[in-house]
Amino acid sequence: MVGPASGSVQTLFDFTRLDQLNDWTEQSDTAKPSGMSKAVLALQKSQLFQRAIFFSLFVPKASGAGFAAIRTETNFDLREYHYIAIKCRGQGVNFKYKMVLRHKGLGRDSAVYGQVFTVAENEFATVKLPLGDFKPYYRGLPLPLETHPLDLSAITNMGIKVDNGPYLPDNQPGVSALEIDWIKAVK
């Protein structure tokens, strides 16, 4: 999972080289009885390139609540880094995503740290997410950062999601694709 650090960059996931994505799992609103969204992370392989594609079918409830997400267990120490960089492009109805991190092996009943980002449409670009801008949430509600700091030395879960609500009010029901070449930590 973790690539070798080369100076100011550490490769976290290089989807142009991975053989499989079995460590990534869906974590969508279908975990609840009323959920109807779907998320899949798949490898796209051709004779010229390979990358991961996060496909999402976002089907919010009448209230607008819902989410389609993928995540993986990790073991990253990111104390020496300032950003998470993602080389990606978007297609479909939604271009706003949220990266989520968890730390210290804590699960569903703990804070999740999120940051919203916008991807370029139909053109690859590198999106930089400052590690200092990941904010704590519990079940969608913001928590005070001073009492819930993110422990960058023990990032044990990473995910990407499409959802709606106060943080992503522009997202629409429908199908989207986020093509990803790599995710790196950058100083």
* 81-102 confidence digits (pLDDT tens): 999 999 999 999 999 999 999 9
User: Looking at the domain assignment, is residue 22 inside a domain?
Assistant: yes
User: Looking at the domain assignment, is residue 83 inside a domain?
Assistant: yes
User: Looking at the domain assignment, is residue 4 inside a domain?
Assistant: no
User: Looking at the domain assignment, is residue 3 inside a domain?
Assistant: no
pLDDT of residue 5 exceeding 60, the answer is no
User: Looking at the domain assignment, is residue 34 inside a domain?
Assistant: yes
Q: How many domains does the chain have?
A: 1
pLDDT of residue 165 exceeding 80, the answer is no
pTM attached to this predicted model? 0.91
User: Looking at the domain assignment, is residue 114 inside a domain?
Assistant: yes
pLDDT of residue 1: 46
Q: Which residues contact 99 (CB under 8 A, 6 or more apart)?
A: 84, 86, 114, 115, 117, 129, 134, 158, 159, 160
Mean pLDDT of the chain: 91
User: Looking at the domain assignment, is residue 2 inside a domain?
Assistant: no
Report how far residue 112's alpha carbon sits from residue 129's, in angstroms, rounded to the nearest whole number. Answer: 16
How many other C-beta atoms can be found within 10 angstroms of the C-beta atom of residue 28? 24
- CATH code assigned at 178: 2.60.120.260
